[in-house]
């Protein structure tokens, strides 16, 4: 069954800690995305990647980092530099063309202890 998986579902971060959110897809999609969702603000793009070993900053990349070593995987690290990390994080993938649908994972909710 093809799709996108994100883990964990909930993640707790302590002050000064880096945490990594996992995103895996088996749709054979070239493009992958990370979004941050806050109430009333829609989705804001953090990073995106069109191909393996290449990624680009989105609108709110500060305090985040990513890697794309495999086509299937696009992990997001929330660093200690991100001072307000509490949010719902969504990973998506697509064929990478403008008309193509983005498919979303179930999301990870990050909370600060």
Partner 1 sequence: AQSVTQLGSHVSVSEGALVLLRCNYSSSVPPYLFWYVQYPNQGLQLLLKYTTGATLVKGINGFEAEFKKSETSFHLTKPSAHMSDAAEYFCAVSDRSNYQLIWGAGTKLIIKP
Q: Is 4 in the site for partner 1 (CB under 8 A)?
A: yes
DSSP string of the chain, one letter each residue: ---EEEE-SEEEE-TT--EEEEEEE-S--SEEEEEEE-TTS-EEEEEEEEETTEEEE-TT-TTEEE--SBTTB--EEE-TT-S---EEEEEEEE-SSTTSPPEE---EEEEE-
User: Do 53 and 67 meet the contact criterion of CB atoms below 8 Å apart?
Assistant: no
Q: Is 1 in the site for partner 1 (CB under 8 A)?
A: no
Options 40, 54, 83, 84; binder of partner 1; rule CB under 8 A: 40
Q: Which is nearer to partner 1, 9 or 14 (CB)?
A: 9
Q: Is 41 in the site for partner 1 (CB under 8 A)?
A: yes
Q: Is 42 in the site for partner 1 (CB under 8 A)?
A: yes
Closest CB 98 distance from partner 1, rounded Å: 5
Q: Which is nearer to partner 1, 99 or 113 (CB)?
A: 99
Per the listing, tokens 């994972």 go with 105
Options 66, 68, 94, 110; binder of partner 1; rule CB under 8 A: 94
Tokens of 52: 């393996």
- Interacting residues toward partner 1 by CB under 8 A: 4, 6, 31, 40-45, 48, 58, 88, 90, 92, 94, 96-107, 109
């Amino acid at each position: 069954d093809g799709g996108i998986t994100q883990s964990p579902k909930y993640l707790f971060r302590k002050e000064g800690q880096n945490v990594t959110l996992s995103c895996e897809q088996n749709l054979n999609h070239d493009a992958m995305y990370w979004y941050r969702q806050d109430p009333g603000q829609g989705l804001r793009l953090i990073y995106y990647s069109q191909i393996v070993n290449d990624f680009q900053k989105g609108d709110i990349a500060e305090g985040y980092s990513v890697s794309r070593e495999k086509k299937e995987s696009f992990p997001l690290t929330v660093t200690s530099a991100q001072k307000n990390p509490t949010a719902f994080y969504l990973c998506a993938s697509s064929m990478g063309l403008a008309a193509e649908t983005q498919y979303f994972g179930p999301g990870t909710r990050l909370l600060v202890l």
